[in-house]
Amino acid sequence: MKTTPEILMVDDNPADIDLTSEILAQSKGHFHVNAVMDGAEAISFLRQQGKYAEAPVPDLVVLDLNLPRKNGREVLAEVKSGPRLAKIPVVIFTSSQASSDVMRSYALGANCYLRKPGTFPTLWRNGGPQAA
């Protein structure tokens, strides 16, 4: 029986992965964060293919839109198109300020759209661990 929620973080910026992981670590809940750095790797993880054959099915995906190899929109579309993965909530966490990205993300099935703040103190002021 799984007791610790699994989060898959998909972001090509190691600093953003570290920052988000730190905020989650300081929250009241306990989470296990897995991270991949491009869209193709995210799909392999989610489908449990190749080196990810034993990967856990995440309870939440935190997805950047601007990724190498397969962008976040493509990943989101694949996740929401199949019955096994479609039930996983996906939070878009990106630096994009384009309203078209917000609308398209929701149209593709995103559960939430958050814009990345520029700094850790800004993220903390915007909710810190309680928001996570």
* 1 found inside a domain: no
Q: Are 65 and 39 in contact (CB under 8 A)?
A: no
Q: Which residues share a beta bridge with 8?
A: 34, 61
Averaged pLDDT for residues 20-43 = 86
Burial class of residue 111 in the structure, from the number of CB atoms within 10 Å of its CB (0-12 exposed, 13-18 middle, 19+ buried):
middle
**Count of helix runs (H) and strand runs (E) in the chain:** 7, 5
Tens of pLDDT, residue by residue over 73-95, are 999 999 999 898 999 999 999 88
Q: Which pLDDT score, from 0 to 100, does residue 76 have?
A: 96
Count of domains for the chain = 1
132 belongs to a structural domain: no
39-46 helix and 72-81 helix, angle to the nearest 10 degrees: 20
In a domain, 131, yes or no: no
For residues 12 and 67, the answer to whether their CB atoms sit within 8 Å is yes
The pLDDT of residue 131: 42
- Alpha-carbon distance of 66 to 72, in angstroms, equals 6
Q: What CATH number does the domain containing 94 carry?
A: 3.40.50.2300
The predicted pLDDT at position 132 comes to 38
pLDDT for res 79:
95
With respect to residue 79, please indicate whether it lies within any of the assigned structural domains: yes
In a domain, 61, yes or no: yes
Statement: residue 129 has pLDDT above 50: no
Q: How confident is the model at residue 34 (pLDDT cuts 50, 70, 90)?
A: very high
Asked whether residue 121 is assigned to any structural domain, the reply reads yes
- The domain of 85 spans 6-126
